[in-house]
Homo-oligomer: A and B are copies of this chain.
Amino acid sequence: MGPTTGVVTAFAPASVSNLGPGFDVLGLALEGPGDTVTARVVDGPGVRIARIEGERGALPRQASANTAGIAAAATLGRAGARLGVELELVKGLPIGSGLGSSAASAVAAAFAVNQLLGEPLGPAELLEACLEAEATVSGRHADNVAPALLGGLVAVRSVSPLDVVRLPVPAGLVVVVVTPAFELSTRTARAALPQAVPLAAMVRNSANLAALVAACCTGDLALLGRSIEDEVVTPVRAGLIPGCVEVMAAAREAGALGASISGAGPSIFALCDLEDRAVAAAFAMQAAFERAGLPSKSVISRANCPGARLL
C-alpha cells in the first residue's frame, strides 16, 4: 500500500501503569485526556517537529530528543521509508504527572506516521517503535505505550523480545485519576526505587499481582480491590508526593475498591464498581490533596477504553 494522504492526525490516550503490584508490567488506557499528533509528508528525509502546543515550551523541539520525534523516526525506519515527515504535537497530557505523557506522544506520532505510509507496520512492530522512544526518556518499559496503542488493560510479559498480553476488563469497572498541581519527574521517581527487594516482600507482591490478574479475568471486583497492594514501589514513592497516603485512604473510605499511585506519580488512581462511587471517590481524593496544600484535577473513565486512533 502507498500513502493514503499527505496529512494524518492521530490521538493516543493517557494510561495508568503499575496498578499497585504490577510495577513495569500492567497498564490501562483511559478515555478523555491524551496527546494528538498531526504528521505530514515534507521534502527531504527525516523527522522535524514544526510545533508543540501545550506544556509551555518545556518539551524539546529537537526530534531526536522528543518521544514523538523518536517514535516517528523509528516507524519510518522500520517501514524502510525514506520520507520526510513534519509533526505537530498537541499535548493534552501534562508531563511528569504519571499519566503516560511521553508514551502518549510516542504512540500518537508512530500511529500517525504508520497511517501516513499506508499502515506498513502491524501493532507489534509499531509497539517496538514506541518502546524505542520511551526507552530514551524514562527507561525500557512498555506498560504505558502498550495500553496507549492497544487500549484496554495489558500485561507486558517481556520487553526484549516484546510480549504483550491483553487482559479481560471486568464489566462496569470505572477508573478515577486525580492529578495534583505538582510535577514529579519520572527520573526522580525512578531514582527513589530500591535496588533490591526482600524475598518476602517480592512474594507478597507476586501474590497480589496473581490475584489481581485472576480478578480481572473472573470479574471478582472485591478481590481486585484488595489486590491493589504494593509494598515495594508505592511506599517509597508515596514519600515524594504530598498527601499521597491520605488521598489513597480517602478513595477507599469513599467506597473505591482500591487505590494506588498512577505510574511514577504524582497522580493517584482508584478503581470503582459504580460511576456514582467514582464521583464520590474523586471528590474525596481532591479534598485530601487540598488538605495537603495541592489543588488537583480529576478524570473519571471507564476501564475498557480504546487505544490510539485517527482523528
Known A24-B203, A202-B197: A210·B211 in contact at CB below 8 Å = no
Q: Is the CB of B203 within 8 A of A167?
A: no
Chain A contact residues (Cβ within 8 angstroms of B): what range? 35 or more
Q: Is the CB of A210 within 8 A of B25?
A: yes
Q: Which of A208-245 contact B (CB under 8 A)?
A: 208-211, 213-215, 217-218, 220, 223, 226-227, 232
Q: Is the CB of A211 within 8 A of B165?
A: yes
Q: Which of A189-215 contact B (CB under 8 A)?
A: 193-199, 202-211, 213-215
Q: How far is the CA of A269 from the CA of B206 in the complex (A)?
A: 21
> Which residues on B sit within 8 Å (CB–CB) of A163?
211, 226
Copies of this protein, total: 2
Q: How far is the CA of A202 from the CA of B21 in the complex (A)?
A: 11
Q: Which of A158, A165, A205, A208 has the largest number of chain B CB atoms within 10 A?
A: A165
In the complex, whether A11 has a CB less than 8 A from a CB of chain B is: no
Q: Is the CB of A208 within 8 A of B23?
A: no
Q: Is the CB of A214 within 8 A of B211?
A: no
Q: How far is the CA of A220 from the CA of B26 in the complex (A)?
A: 18
> Which residues on B sit within 8 Å (CB–CB) of A84?
none
Q: Is the CB of A25 within 8 A of B203?
A: yes
> Which residues on B sit within 8 Å (CB–CB) of A23?
202-203, 206
Known pairs A24-B206, A25-B206, A213-B214. 11 more at Cβ < 8 A?
A23-B202, A24-B207, A25-B203, A157-B208, A165-B214, A165-B220, A193-B199, A196-B197, A196-B199, A197-B198, A209-B209
- 9 A–B contact pairs at CB < 8 A? A22-B210, A23-B202, A25-B207, A155-B214, A157-B208, A157-B227, A196-B199, A197-B198, A209-B210
6 closest A-B pairs by CB = A217-B217, A157-B211, A196-B196, A213-B213, A155-B210, A24-B203
